[in-house]
Amino acid sequence: MDLDLWWLLVIPVAFAFGWVAARYDLKTLLSESANLPRSYFRGLNFLLNEQPDQAIDAFIEVVKLDPETIELHFALGNLFRRRGETDRAIRVHQNLLNRADLPVTERDHALYELGQDFLKAGLLDRAEETFKALQSGDYALGAQRALLTIYQIERDWNKSIDTARRLESMGVESLDKEIGHFHCELAQEALQQKKPDEARRQLDLALKAHPQNVRATILFGDVDAAAGDHDKAIAQWRHVEEQNPAYLPLVAEKVMKAYEALGRQNEGADLLTTWVDGYPSNDLLDVAYQYVSALRGPEAAHALARTQMQKSPNLAGMTRLLEAQQAVAEEPRRSELELMRTLIRQRTKNLPRYTCQNCGFRARLFYWQCPGCSGWETYAPRRVEPITASS
């Protein structure tokens, strides 16, 4: 009984304390609101009524009257940038930088945000100039990362290499893989300009930065093939099997053309058949099937396609098998097989071939750098069939 009476006393006391606290918070809020400039509320009103330019003018006046509202400017600028209104974001952040009394830390912050505005707007030269002004301080690392992005967009690979090394000196994770690809890009440019010595120099640097860089090995073969040294080119491309056999489909056609140039097509066909048996792949099968059929006849090509379908059944392989069966069949069986092959080909012709393992971007061509997320070496060089049971 005493316990029940005690609880009856506690409840009204707790209610009274809550009421007092609420009144205190309300008074505090009203007091703080009264101290805010009227421009603050006018700005909010403009923003709510979809009048962003008038809102910016009002908030600029707020900062002039009350420096403590600097964070409001940053929030507003970021909001405009996320909405794609980069011209308004630029105006907000430039207004902050025009303040003579802005602390150094806040000035660096405003510079960094302004650089991001320029980058989002595609004004790369102005973004570069802004980020280069942040050589030290809390935003130096972010500025260097942004500069690396800019130089890659501009395909300025020498500046990309320098910036990547600078980032590593600032303590970020190793960028050896990216630096290797930057050297490969320079090698490709040299190869297109018919400067084989410069191409080889860049490829040596690529492998020095990242010894498992398959792309550099492939390009070394391209340089040798361009110079007419097909034996050396074949040796380079065969080395891909030791580095990463998943990339063999990228050199299969190159290898066969080199063997053809040497008059040793059968040796090349044997090599491709060995690769197809050891590393089943639709891309490898396509190249091997083409040459085996031409060199050894439809029966040999049919046996190759059938064996691969038993190892790794898929729609693309089925198309190739039906083609092989059609080549050795007689009417009316041949017409039936042609109908089946046509139906499957129509179902698979628009399937994306490659998928970025980082962002999921799909493409019919293989890329060393993903067009979606700009990641390097994120595409597995293998065709995919994103087909579910429901489809």
pLDDT by 10s per residue, the chain, length 391: 454 554 445 455 455 545 444 444 434 433 444 445 554 545 445 554 555 556 555 555 555 545 556 777 777 778 778 878 888 888 888 888 887 778 888 899 999 999 999 999 999 999 999 999 999 899 999 999 999 999 999 999 999 999 999 999 999 999 999 999 999 999 999 999 999 999 999 999 999 999 999 999 999 999 999 999 999 999 999 999 999 999 999 999 999 999 999 999 999 999 998 998 888 887 888 888 788 878 887 777 777 777 777 666 666 666 666 666 566 566 666 665 566 666 666 666 656 578 888 888 888 888 888 888 889 988 878 766 544 333 3
181 plus 168 within the same structural domain: no
Q: Which residues contact 79 (CB under 8 A, 6 or more apart)?
A: none
pLDDT of residue 328: 59
Q: Provide the annotated binding site.
A: 356, 359, 370, 373
Q: Which residues contact 165 (CB under 8 A, 6 or more apart)?
A: 175, 179
pLDDT of residue 83: 79
pLDDT of residue 50: 56
Does 178 reside within a domain?
yes
Does 28 reside within a domain?
no
3-state secondary structure of 355: strand
pLDDT of residue 55: 57
157 plus 201 within the same structural domain: no
Q: Are 325 and 337 in contact (CB under 8 A)?
A: yes
C-alpha–C-alpha distance, residues 55 and 4, integer Å: 58
C-alpha–C-alpha distance, residues 143 and 126, integer Å: 13
133 plus 162 within the same structural domain: yes
Containing structural domain, residue 358: 350-386
The residue with tokens 């998943």 is 246
Does 42 reside within a domain?
no
238 plus 281 within the same structural domain: no
pTM > 0.85: yes or no: no
C-alpha–C-alpha distance, residues 179 and 185, integer Å: 10
> 151: which 2 tokens?
């130089």
pLDDT of residue 353: 75
379 plus 325 within the same structural domain: no
pLDDT of residue 227: 93
Q: Provide the annotated binding site for Fe cation.
A: 356, 359, 370, 373
C-alpha–C-alpha distance, residues 381 and 366, integer Å: 7
**Through-space distance between the first and last CA atoms of the chain, rounded to whole angstroms:** 70
216 plus 227 within the same structural domain: yes
Does 328 reside within a domain?
yes
Nearest Cα residue to 145 out of 160, 157, 126: 160
Does 364 reside within a domain?
yes
pLDDT of residue 341: 62
197 plus 118 within the same structural domain: no
pLDDT of residue 27: 45
355 plus 327 within the same structural domain: no
342 plus 376 within the same structural domain: no
Query: Final residue of a domain: which of 173, 206, 223?
Result: 173
Does 23 reside within a domain?
no
Phi, psi (deg, nearest 5) at residue 130: -70, -45
Q: Which residues contact 181 (CB under 8 A, 6 or more apart)?
A: 206, 213, 215, 368, 369, 376, 377
CA distances to 24, 254, 257, 265 from 304, in Å: 84, 20, 20, 17
Does 289 reside within a domain?
yes
167 plus 70 within the same structural domain: yes
102 plus 166 within the same structural domain: yes
What's at 352, amino acid-wise?
A: P
Does 181 reside within a domain?
yes
150 plus 210 within the same structural domain: no
Query: Final residue of a domain: which of 173, 200, 222?
Result: 173
Query: Final residue of a domain: which of 243, 274, 290?
Result: 243
pLDDT of residue 347: 62
* Domain count along the chain: 4
